[in-house]
């Protein structure tokens, strides 16, 4: 979810602007060699990020502070106060923009891989300089073509073209290289996509969320090569 700058703060509510599938399908290609196998999407919304990742063979745990009708999503979970989920290897989400830095800081304290879809002006602001100094992104993938417009959940007005540039901000503690900037064209990627890469052998792992929300233990299917010991 994200903020569209043309909307008044009073109208934004929980900033329910769901991600375009083009952004997620591009992530699957540009981060194909880096995406971990067990992922938590803590601002799952209507499943715009969850479904493509699941279809590509990833195990995805979905939660959100509100209920947007996504099957299997645990509603009523505030990520910023939720406990960690053992077994989760990465966070992939499009957080509410006004909370993006707090989402990043929490995720970086819990896992080795974080991918956030954010406006490129997230790079600005002296308030976020400390975050970037303490946690250097490994890769920043800028969408060279404007992504399709993300309209507010429940919006029934006219559809407008996008006027905002987005990028995938990737923090990867396994990467020795930091602050690598590159570009992707989601339309070219969509036309040349040959489907997701094979996920390899599979085995079972347990993923349990701690904390007062009481999310039930779930048996998750993970590729054998990436299950944490």
* CATH for 117: 3.40.50.150
Q: Is residue 223 part of a domain?
A: no
Residue at 4 is within a domain? no
Indicate whether 208 belongs to any domain: no
Q: Is the pTM of this model over 0.85?
A: no
Classified as helix, coil or strand, 168 is strand
d(CA 139, CA 141): 6
Look at residue 174 and tell me if it is in a domain: yes
Q: Give the pLDDT confidence of 156-180 residue by residue, as tens digits.
A: 444 455 678 999 999 999 999 999 9
Residue 19 has a pLDDT of: 85
In which band, very low, low, confident or very high, does the pLDDT at 217 lie, cut at 50, 70 and 90?
A: very low
Tell me if 216 is assigned to some domain.
Answer: no
Strand 90-93 relative to strand 113-119, pairing: parallel
Does residue 206 sit within a domain? no
Long-range contacts of 106-110 (CB under 8 A, 24+ apart): 106/79, 106/80, 107/171, 108/135, 108/171, 110/84
Per-residue model confidence (pLDDT) at position 30: 97
Domain that holds residue 88: 9-151+163-200
Looking at the domain assignment, is residue 167 inside a domain? yes
pLDDT band at 114 (very low <50, low <70, confident <90, very high): very high
In a domain, 101, yes or no: yes
**56/40 Cα distance (integer angstroms):** 15
Task: Work out the pLDDT band at 16, boundaries 50, 70, 90.
Answer: low
Per the listing, tokens 């400390």 go with 130
Task: Report how many domains make up the chain.
Answer: 1
């Amino acid at each position: 979810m994200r903020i569209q700058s043309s909307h008044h703060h009073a109208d934004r509510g929980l900033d329910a602007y769901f991600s375009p599938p083009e952004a997620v399908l591009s992530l699957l290609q540009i981060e194909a060699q880096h995406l971990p196998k067990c992922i938590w999407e803590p601002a799952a919304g209507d499943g715009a990020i969850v479904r493509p990742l699941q279809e590509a063979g990833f195990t995805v745990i979905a939660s959100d502070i509100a209920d947007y009708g996504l099957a299997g999503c645990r509603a009523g979970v505030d990520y910023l106060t939720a406990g960690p989920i053992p077994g989760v290897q990465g966070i992939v989400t499009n957080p509410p923009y006004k909370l993006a830095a707090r989402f990043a800081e929490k995720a970086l304290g819990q896992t080795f891989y974080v991918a956030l879809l954010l406006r490129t002006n997230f790079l600005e602001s002296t308030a976020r300089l400390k975050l970037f100094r303490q946690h250097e992104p490994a890769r920043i993938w800028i969408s060279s073509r404007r992504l399709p417009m993300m309209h507010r959940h429940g919006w029934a007005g006219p559809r407008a073209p996008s006027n905002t540039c987005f990028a995938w901000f990737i923090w990867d503690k396994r990467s020795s290289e930091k602050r690598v900037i590159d570009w992707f064209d989601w339309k070219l990627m969509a036309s040349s996509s040959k489907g997701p890469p094979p996920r390899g052998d599979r085995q079972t792992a347990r993923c349990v969320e701690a904390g007062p929300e009481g999310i039930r233990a779930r048996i998750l299917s993970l590729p054998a090569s990436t299950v944490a010991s």
